[in-house]
Amino acid sequence: MARLDKVKNMTGLVECYGKSSKLRELVNLVVVGGYIDVNKSKDKEELAEIEKMHDLMKQYNMHGQFRWIPAQMNRVRNGELYRYIADTKGAFVQPALYEAFGLTVVEAMVSGLPTFATCHGGPAEIIEHGISGFHVDPYHPDQMATLLVDFFEQCQKDPSHWNNISDGGLKRIYERYTWKIYSERLLTLTGVYGFWKHVSKLERRETRRYLEMFYILKYQDLVKSIPQAVDEQH
């Protein structure tokens, strides 16, 4: 579930799946992202990825095993997609060549999905390998396929294995990545910044921009929802 950019490596995941006969015997693959029709995109990079995706589907004859869903803008529907895959005891794979943070990783984990995510970037910090998910190296697709095969084969032998990784992911998110925890850290950062500015009398441009972004994206709308005080004397 991502943009159809080269760095997101969606076609890399499809190729990895197509080449692995063992993985194809165990599970189907669902990809969510981009346009399916090349005539609907004007981005050269996305056009190349769309064409590559169609070529891979033909090359590996994945009819009946692979479903490509166009990018979804409805957040509720996205949440239902995560839940549907979780209800069928599936897994989520984030195969990006590099990912700064990994919002879809957090979304998948909080939906209870065992998550396999790139070891390059933010997801490497979010996931504890083998406990709350798994790290995969997109530059070694054979190893990624083997890790997925091992997981699903173990789940077949012991269904509790799926639940253990699912529970580990949920625990990790609730311990580290809730809005409550984030806001507390932000308040701590604000306090440190205020003290630092007081003693140094210098501007910290990056932190100020960050706080402004957080206010615009999160708190500005919340402020509007607070009812105004009413003077009871009138």
Please name the residue that has the structure tokens 């029709």.
37
Quote the DSSP letter at residue 228.
P
What φ, ψ does residue 97 adopt, rounded to 5°?
-65, -30
- If you average pLDDT over residues 88-117, what whole number do you get? 94
Task: Report pLDDT for 141.
Answer: 97
Single pTM value for the model: 0.77
pLDDT exceeds cutoff 60 at 88: yes
Ordered by start, the domain boundaries in the chain are 6-176, 179-223
pLDDT of residue 233: 59
Q: Average the pLDDT over each of 16-20, 67-71, 141-145, 174-178 and give the range with the smallest value.
A: 174-178
> CA 176 to CA 157: how far, in whole Å?
31
E strands, 17-148, where?
Answer: 29-32, 66-69, 92-94, 115-118, 134-136
Of 73, 81, 133, 59, the closest CA to residue 102 belongs to 133
CB 55 within 8 A of CB 110: no
User: Which candidate, 115, 112, 123, 117, places its Cα nearest to that of 84?
Assistant: 112
Residue 202 pLDDT greater than 60, yes or no:
no
The superfamily CATH assigns to domain 6-176 is Glycogen Phosphorylase B; (3.40.50.2000)
User: pLDDT digits over 105-152, tens only?
Assistant: 999 999 999 999 999 999 999 999 999 999 999 999 999 999 999 999
Q: What beta strand segments (E) does the chain contain?
A: 29-32, 66-69, 92-94, 115-118, 134-136
